[in-house]
Amino acid sequence: MSIRAMSVAGSFYPATSDEIIQMIDHFNTILKSHPEALKKFDTLTGLAVIVPHAGWIYSGFTANIAYRVLSNNALKTIVVIGPSHHVGFEGVSISDMETYQTPLGNLDIDHHLVKDLMQQFSIPYFPQAHHEHSTEVQMPFIKHYMSNVKVVELVYAYAESSQLSPIIDHVLNQPDTAVVISTDLSHYYSLKKAKQLDSICLEAIRTENVQELHQGCEACGMIGVEGMLSVAKKRGLEAILLDYRTSADASGDTARVVGYTSALFR
């Protein structure tokens, strides 16, 4: 059996199932202290989300909200799309393995959808691209909240949003199938500057305005976000911002800040 093995367990997220469950329980305990927000999140549904991909200690709370909301749907497959941080290649790569390893147990990869996407969009499989944290950090959340779903992993490097939009649109046409777009926001500015730059990203997402993304948003996964916004606009989906925070909330360091958001499209 071919397995997409974990590559950042123990660094970006806990390496053991007990630690992962404790961390997610901690995130949800914080949510329970805000009952109005919790009530809202537990009634939302939608088939596409934007999530961050930093170490869970920094961005896990923000990502957890999106997966808690996503689990309100009855899903069979989740397609995770993230930018490549270490390997340069043209376009998009899709993982053509059988299972995806997580500390909570393996997730089956949706082989039929993988083959369909390969054929429909001529997507290759570059194995070296799939040691990528932007997609991998999402998988333990998926396994925790929706243990029986299948997954598909797409990683892009030198790509255009016009390459991703048709893929996203095609995926959302599949029954009981959701899309996860992985991105962080600004990187290593002062807290004040980070919030200023991130506000551009947040407003662009909220209004589904692709042009505004290019007015100063510095999201590392902006190509994926742009592709998602184009599809959301076309399909008449409503964008809902779920959470925004920065690394300073966890570290206290306001000099070199990274921004994180999660959003839902319904």
What's the structural domain count of the chain? 1
Whether the Cβ atoms of residue 117 and residue 170 lie closer than 8 Å to each other: yes
pLDDT of 178 reads 98
Would you say 153 and 130 are in contact if contact means Cβ atoms under 8 Å apart? Answer: yes
| Global pTM value | 0.96
User: Does 1 have pLDDT greater than 90?
Assistant: no
Percent of the chain with pLDDT over 90: 99
User: 210: which residues sit within 8 A by CB, 6+ positions away?
Assistant: 161, 204, 226, 229, 230, 233
- CATH number, residue 185: 3.40.830.10
Domain span including residue 108: 3-265
pLDDT digit string, tens, across residues 197-209: 999 999 999 999 9
